[in-house]
Structure 1
Amino acid sequence: MLQAPGQDATRERASKVPPGWLHFAAGGVGGMCGAVITSPFDVVKTRLQSDMYKTAHKKPNRPAVLGMIESGARHFVETCRMLAEISAREGTSALFKGLGPTLVGVIPARAINFATYGTCKRFYSETFDHSAGSPLVHLAAAATAGITTATATNPIWVVKTRLQLESQRLEADARSARVNAVGQKNVRGLHTSARVLANMQFVRAAAPPHPATSAFRMAATIVRTEGVAGLYKGLTASYLGVSESTIQWVLYERLKRLNEKQESTQVPAVVRTIGAAGCAKMVATLVTYPHEVLRTRMRQQPVGQPKYTGLVQTFRLVLREEGPAAFYGGFTAHLMRVIPNAIVTFSIFEFVLALGSHL
């Protein structure tokens, strides 16, 4: 039976798709390199998203529009200032706080995502008789890969978020302890400055501000105090965030195909990959960033009664207490991290794929 030329072309393209294990390896290597290079911006982004930072740097109430303009104007300054502040107060190593669980999460997350995407792209194109370059195939494959990755790696991201916010939580606890101790002394009639100073020094010594907590100890603490369900906090927001990776993959594939049609311009392949990866990530981030803030709030370590209990409840509470601008807290630090991260990840991914295809 005669076959249409289009079907032959589809089968030929499918036969050229690299195997799943190569996608797995390439995604893991690319994710690891990107995470290490951009780790300091990840720490700053997480703190700017948290309400711990918002409480410590609370501003007077302003109209929503003015608040958003002011927030956008100071994001870059805040990012640079916090990088210097964290390095000075907590040491350079604090800029890589949570890098251990990040690597433990990023390497399998990128590997799973890229491998699932490549496998599903081939499966959907063959099952539904679509071209491997069809936007519908890219959309379905990216959504499947995003959901799979979010479910498998959510506990790692909860531990990482807690580690990055730990120092701020301990500082808040220490301040509260000092205030309470001084208040108790005053109630008992001990008003002398020497006694108050001695009490403050005692509390400060009893509550070291930056103890080293390992990822395993943090995970054990979460399970002990909040149950296994504590490791899956923010999962609904992560599912919402699948839209970001879906948009990114669809745009990346589209831009890559457009660039491939312009090979006559003599633009190096690596430059085309950098442009496609950077543009795709920027657009996807602009559209979906608020879910990042919601997810961070839901993953915070609760102090007493949990403040953020669900996706809708968190959205309404942040909107009511802090205004729309809060949903883009840490946005500049996030862009400074994710765009270079995407460029490094996809460039190495494409390089490893090309290298593996010639072996």
Structure 2
Amino acid sequence: MKETNESTPQSPLFHGVTVDAVAGLAAGCATTLIVHPLDLIKVRLQIDDSHRSPMGGIANVVRDLRHSQRPLQEIYRGLMPNLVGNTVSWGSYFMWYEYLKDKMGDFYGRKDLRFADYLVCSGASGCLTALFTNPIWVVKTRMLSTASTYQDAYKSMSQGFRQIARNEGMRGFYRGFLASLFGVGHGAIQIMFYEEMKRYYVGQANSNDQKLSTPQYITFSAASKIGASLIMYPSQVIRSRLQRYDADNVYLSMRDVIAKTARQEGILGFYKGRLTPLRILPNLVRVVPATCVTFVVYEHTRSYMRYT
């Protein structure tokens, strides 16, 4: 019996990757359930190409939701693709990220990675995740961007997949994919900032304990998200507009989206749905709490699974 147990040891790398995938799934699920209503408002603001004031745009979305036949149901419209997309995305992302970090550490012969190493690992993980999850985000964006009473609105996630497959083919599932790849830079920059802040703090504290407190995870995740958002947010607006229902009738390509947005709305058009010193919009109000929830749940779930 002893020989049997020793002949099938659990691989530490496989164990680590499994833990990171499960922790990512838990983080994505918790985050989506908490902040979905704010995500819906953000998407509807992103695709709004009118010249309403920021507060006017928010008020208009909230008014439409409140006056719908089933307000609560409308607020959580598109929850399923959002839930599936976020759980699969975060699970896949953290799984690939930790796996690539381990491989890079083995290659260098050290576990202490550098600024650029985190950027490469997170960027590659984001590309792999985007490849598998883009079809989910197309359905999610279309469901969140319209009320259920809209003429061509998808009634469910499965109906969305069927209609896209029938009417648009594979091209429909990968609308906005190029913009998504640009958006990978957002996650790469965020993770790079996050890892560097953690590494700096641990180094300053002269401690080998990588486990931080919840307030510290919140602080580092919020700061890294704000920095990445300021740099990379326009790609999200471009992607949302490419994925809307009537994109074929409005835009010819990603270049056309950029040109029309710049010409008709100016530089602030690329920042629809966000918080800047000049425009009070719900993006950072939504994404910063979401990021904090994601990383706190991920770090604590990962720590619990590894050390219990």
Counting only pairs closer than 5 Å after superposition, residues 83-122 of structure 1 correspond to structure 2 as 83=62, 85-90=64-69, 91-122=71-102
One-letter amino acid of the counterpart of residue 249, structure 2: P
Aligned equivalent of 2:214:
270
Counting only pairs closer than 5 Å after superposition, residues 58-207 of structure 1 correspond to structure 2 as 58=51, 74-75=53-54, 78-79=57-58, 82-83=61-62, 85-90=64-69, 91-129=71-109, 131-167=111-147, 170=150
The answer on whether the counterparts of 1:24 and 1:114 sit within 8 Å (CA) in structure 2 is yes
Secondary structure, aligned partner of 1:54: coil
Aligned equivalent of 2:249:
306
TM superposition shift of 1:78? 4.1
Aligned equivalent of 2:9:
none
Aligned-partner Cα distance in 1 for 2:250–2:186:
26
TM superposition shift of 1:307? 2.1
The answer on whether the counterparts of 1:125 and 1:137 sit within 8 Å (CA) in structure 2 is no
Alignment CA distance shift 1:217-1:16 (3 Å):
closer
Aligned equivalent of 2:237:
293
Percent identity of paired positions between Structure 1 and Structure 2: 27
Secondary structure, aligned partner of 1:79: helix
Provide the aligned C-alpha RMSD in A: 2.6
Aligned equivalent of 2:305:
356
Alignment CA distance shift 1:83-1:263 (3 Å):
farther
Gaps (5+ residues) in structure 1?
1-14, 60-73, 171-208
TM superposition shift of 1:225? 1.4
Aligned-partner Cα distance in 2 for 1:76–1:270:
33
Aligned-partner Cα distance in 1 for 2:37–2:14:
35
Aligned positions, number: 287
The answer on whether the counterparts of 1:159 and 1:218 sit within 8 Å (CA) in structure 2 is yes
Aligned-partner Cα distance in 2 for 1:212–1:116:
32
Aligned-partner Cα distance in 2 for 1:152–1:212:
21
The answer on whether the counterparts of 2:44 and 2:61 sit within 8 Å (CA) in structure 1 is no
Aligned equivalent of 1:12:
none
Residue deviations 1:232-252 (CA, integer Å, cap 9, x gap) = 000000000010000000000
TM superposition shift of 1:321? 2.2
One-letter amino acid of the counterpart of residue 241, structure 2: R
Aligned-partner Cα distance in 2 for 1:131–1:239:
28
Aligned-partner Cα distance in 2 for 1:309–1:143:
28
Aligned-partner Cα distance in 1 for 2:75–2:205:
41
Residue deviations 1:103-141 (CA, integer Å, cap 9, x gap) = 111111000001100000111121134543311221111
TM superposition shift of 1:167? 2.3
Alignment CA distance shift 1:76-1:280 (3 Å):
farther
The answer on whether the counterparts of 2:85 and 2:137 sit within 8 Å (CA) in structure 1 is yes
- Comparing 27-36 with 309-318, which one deviates more in the overlay? 309-318
Residue deviations 1:244-300 (CA, integer Å, cap 9, x gap) = 000000000011122324559xxx711111000000011101110000110001001
Secondary structure, aligned partner of 1:89: coil
Identify which of 143, 150, 165 aligns with 1:223. Answer: 165
Aligned equivalent of 1:8:
none
One-letter amino acid of the counterpart of residue 107, structure 1: T
| TM-score with structure 1 setting the length | 0.74
Aligned equivalent of 2:180:
238
| TM-score with structure 2 setting the length | 0.85
Gaps (5+ residues) in structure 2?
1-11, 207-211, 275-280
Secondary structure, aligned partner of 2:113: coil
User: Greater CA radius of gyration, 1 or 2?
Assistant: 1
The answer on whether the counterparts of 2:143 and 2:154 sit within 8 Å (CA) in structure 1 is no
1:19 aligns with 2:16: yes
Secondary structure, aligned partner of 1:236: helix
